[in-house]
Amino acid sequence: MTRTMTLGKAINAGLRTAMEEDPKVVLMGEDIGRLGGVFRITDGLQKDFGEDRVIDTPLAESGIVGTAIGLALRGYRPVCEIQFDGFVYPAYDQIVAQLAKMHYRSAGRLTLPVTIRLPFGGGIGAVEHHSESPEGYFVHTAGLKVVACSTPAEANVMIRQAIASDDPVIFLEPKRRYHEKGEVEPEASLDDAFPLHASRVLREGGDCTVVAYGPMVRVALDAATAAAADSGPALEVIDLRSLSPLDMEPIYASVRKTGRLVVVHEAPGTLGVGAELAARVQEECFYSLESPVLRVTGFDTPYPPARVEDHYLPDLDRVLDAVDRSLAH
C-alpha cells in the first residue's frame, strides 16, 4: 500500500522492514534507542525490537564501527548510525583500514555486511562539524560501496537494499531533505526494486545534461523547471544514486544526446565526484561534447558558519549560470 511520508520516516520504515525480515539485523548508534536518534530516524524501533537489537552506544564512533565489524564476522547485519557527517572521522580508520579491506584480505572468504548511515550535507543552519560532505573520502576507498538517496521512496528501498548487501555500504542521507514528503511503498518487494547501484534519469531533455545526487537532486530538478519556462533549454536530469560503484552508461548516453554536462554536488570540487565524472565523460564522449564539462560544487574551504552557508551551497542561480555558460560555447 502506498503511503505519504517524509524521507526520515521512510528510512525508519525501511529499517523496520529489514528488522522484521531478518533477526540478524541490529541497529547501533548514539541515542538511537529511547530518544530515537538525533533526527528521530530510529524512533520507536527499540520499543518494538528491544535493547538487544537497537543498541545505544557510548559516544565513540570508532567503537561503534569496530563493534559492528565484530558482529558482522559473527553473522549479524549491523546498521550503524553516525549522528552527523563531521563525526565520522574518529571511525575513519575502522572504516577504511578494516571494514573496507576484510573481504579482499581474506581472499573472499569473509564478508562484512555493515551499513553505515551517515546524515550528510548542509542547509539546516547547524554549527561546525554538522554539515559536511565527506563522500570523497569513502568513494576513494576500494571495498566500500557508497550510495545517496534523494527522495522518500528511494530512501525506503535503498536502505533495505544496503542492509541486504553482503558488502559494506556507506549510506548517505540528505539531512536537509529529512522532512520532505513523498509517496512510499514500504511493503514493496526488493526483487522488483530499481538496482541499488544504478543511476536514474529523472527528467528527459535534449539541450544539457545535469547530474546530481542526494540533496542536490531537488535543486537540479528545480533548475530544469526554471530553465524550461518560456520555452527555454530542456535539461536532462540524472540522479547518480550510487557514488561507488558508478553507473556511467546512462550519463554517457545522455551526453551523447545533449553534448553538454553540468555536475552538481555540495562537496568541494577539487578531486571530488564531479571531477571523476568529468574525466570519464571526456574519455568516453569526447567527440560528442559541445562544451567543457562544468562543475557546480561547494568551495575548497571548511564548511562555513550557518549564517553564510547559503553562499557556499550550490543553488538554483549557480546551476542555471553553469547551464548558460555551457550553452554559450
CB of 263 within 8 A of CB of 278?
Answer: yes
For residue 250, say if its preceding peptide bond is cis, omega within 30 degrees of 0: no
> CA dist 301 to 133, 267, 323, Å?
12, 10, 24
> What grid cell was written down for 123?
542547509
CB of 53 within 8 A of CB of 25?
Answer: yes
DSSP state of 306: G
Q: Which of 103, 129, 130, 265 is catalytic?
A: 130
Pairing of strands 181-184, 3-6: antiparallel
CB of 118 within 8 A of CB of 267?
Answer: no
What sign does the dihedral 119-123-129-134 (CA atoms) show?
positive
* 265 among known catalytic residues: no
CB of 322 within 8 A of CB of 315?
Answer: no
Geometric angle at alpha carbon 212, from 15 and 88, rounded to 5°:
50
Going by C-alpha positions, the residue among 167, 152, 163 that lies closest to residue 80 is: 163
| 174 φ/ψ angles, rounded to the nearest 5 degrees | -75, 100
Q: How far apart are CA 198 and CA 246, in angstroms?
A: 8
Range 283-290, long-range pairs (CB < 8 A, 24+ positions): 284/248, 284/252, 285/252, 285/255, 285/256, 288/255, 288/256, 288/259, 289/255, 289/259, 289/260, 289/261, 290/259, 290/260, 290/329
* Residues involved in catalysis: 130
